[in-house]
Amino acid sequence: MRARSTAVLSLLAVSGLLLAGCATSDASGTSPEAAPKTIAVESSLTDPAAVGERVSADGNSLEVWSGIVPDEAAAGALGDPEAGTQWVTANVAQWVSDEGLTGADVAPVLRSTADDTFEGVAVPQQSVDVAMKPDTSYTYVWSYAVPEALVDAGSLVLCVGAGDEGCSVLTK
């Protein structure tokens, strides 16, 4: 019994040391917050970036991790969408360069290449709006009520703002 307890304690001690090393520095010996930033790729509504690439406009950046088109499960968190629309959801990482902004301030806009007049307004699935610190990654889940005629994974694009730059596709 004593040998088993010693083995478990040794394993926990080694795990703790490894985790402490990961939290304090990267391979170059700098802190994670001082690690080099990923560079945003050039993108637009007509030439959007791929899922997993960082896009940027006006000092704000985002990186789409995944999208659900349509997202029938969103009704459980948000309620049923308006008649004639369906929920579409995007999971993203977001960064800001200015102080004093919240997630709601920089919520991405969903656009459609099939209808350039459509601009989907983000509805958060999280209940708290967080003040964002510059150059820090935040994860958000945004949902959008999209007209049923535009719910097509191939034509929906998420943009940093209402402009035509800083855009990414939702799905691979």
* 25 pLDDT above the threshold of 50: no
pLDDT category, 163, cuts 50, 70, 90?
A: confident
Q: Give the per-residue pLDDT at 10.
A: 36
- Is 139 in contact with 92 (CB distance < 8 Å)? yes
Q: What is the mean pLDDT of the chain?
A: 82
Model pLDDT, residue 84? 98
Characterize the bridge pairing of strands 119-120 and 109-112. antiparallel
Per-residue pLDDT band at 37 (split at 50, 70, 90): low
| Mean local confidence (pLDDT), 123-151 | 95
Residues 60-83: tens digit of each pLDDT: 999 999 999 999 999 999 999 999
Higher pLDDT, 96 or 3: 96
Say whether pLDDT at 157 is over 60.
Answer: yes
Give yes or no for residue 27 having a pLDDT over 60. Answer: no
- Taking Cα atoms as reference points, which of 151, 148, 153 lies closest to residue 169? 153
Kindly tell me if the per-residue pLDDT of 29 is higher than 90: no
Compute the 3-state secondary structure of the chain and give helix, strand, coil in percent, each to the nearest 5: 20, 35, 45
pLDDT at residue 31 above 50?
Answer: no
C-alpha triplet 92, 76, 85: angle, nearest 5° = 75
